[in-house]
Amino acid sequence: MVKQSAPDTARRSEKSRRAIYDAALALVGEVGYPKTTIEGIAARAGVGKQTIYRWWSSKADVLLEAFLDLSGQAGEGREQYVIPDTGDLAADLKGVLRATVDELRDPRFETPSRALAAEGLVNEELGREFVAKLLEPSLQLYVQRLRSAQDAGAVRPDIDPRIALELFVSPLAQRWLQHTGPISYAYTDTLVDYALYGLAPR
């Protein structure tokens, strides 16, 4: 019997971890959060449930990390964790929102996200945890970009960036969440123009 080398163990762990993420996301999309269990995730991932409990303390924790991993994957190949600052605020915001439109339309992201958002509506504790760990950090990227626009004189200095970003982020979120209207690049471009220049004549 050959003793397994450290890199092999790491590779096997990484493979299990990925299988667990995939199983958790697939399951929550199919049966919803309440019926998703550690046992179900373990069975689907082909691991023992003690493997899961070694790394995570609850299904909420597994799902949280699975989503963090998914967002990381979704961002591959494009600028991440910061909104570009080309000096053209409208163009920068439109670019990020177009990438968000792509993500919201990707079924790998759409189905589990919708299941989790639905649970967050009625399970306030879970909702607040996922907002704090998944949603708010991405909103803070807009806060940073708007602050830099304030420094450059492109946004009024008295504006609260945390509220301002909601003028273009929340409409997209509501259309996606509640099916209140179609989602397109033209739509998000329009939101940015309306938010920056206002509805009243200039």
Binding mask 9-38 for a second copy (x = CB under 8 A): -----------------------x------
Looking at residue 199, the DSSP 8-state letter turns out to be S
Dist CA 173 CA 183 (whole Å): 10
Question: Shortest CA distance to 65 belongs to which of 37, 57, 102?
Answer: 57
Dist CA 182 CA 184 (whole Å): 7
H/E element holding 20? Answer: helix 6-31
Pick the closer one to a second copy by CB: 7 or 182: 182
Q: Quote the least distance from Cβ 123 to a second copy, whole Å.
A: 9
Restricting to residues 77-96, which ones interact with a second copy according to CB under 8 A? Answer: none
Q: Quote the least distance from Cβ 160 to a second copy, whole Å.
A: 7
Q: Does 3 bind a second copy (CB under 8 A)?
A: no
The tokens for 4 are 């397994």
Contact segment (CB under 8 A) with a second copy among 1-9, 12-20, 71-79, 131-139 equals 131-139
DSSP readout, 41-83?
HHHHHTS-HHHHHHH-SSHHHHHHHHHHHHHHHHTTTS--SS-
What region, left, alpha or beta, does residue 84 occupy, with left being phi > 0 and alpha being psi -120 to 50 degrees? beta
The residue from 135, 137, 144, 185 that contacts a second copy (CB under 8 A) is 135
Q: Does 52 bind a second copy (CB under 8 A)?
A: no
Pick the closer one to a second copy by CB: 8 or 151: 151
Q: Quote the least distance from Cβ 77 to a second copy, whole Å.
A: 28
Amino acid, res. 83: I
| Helix count and strand count (H, E) for the chain | 11, 0
Number of residues that bind a second copy (CB under 8 A): 52
The residue from 24, 62, 120, 142 that contacts a second copy (CB under 8 A) is 120
Residues of this chain that bind a second copy (CB under 8 A): 32, 114-115, 117-122, 124, 127-128, 131, 135-136, 139, 146, 153-156, 159-160, 162-164, 166-171, 173-175, 177-181, 187, 190-191, 194-202
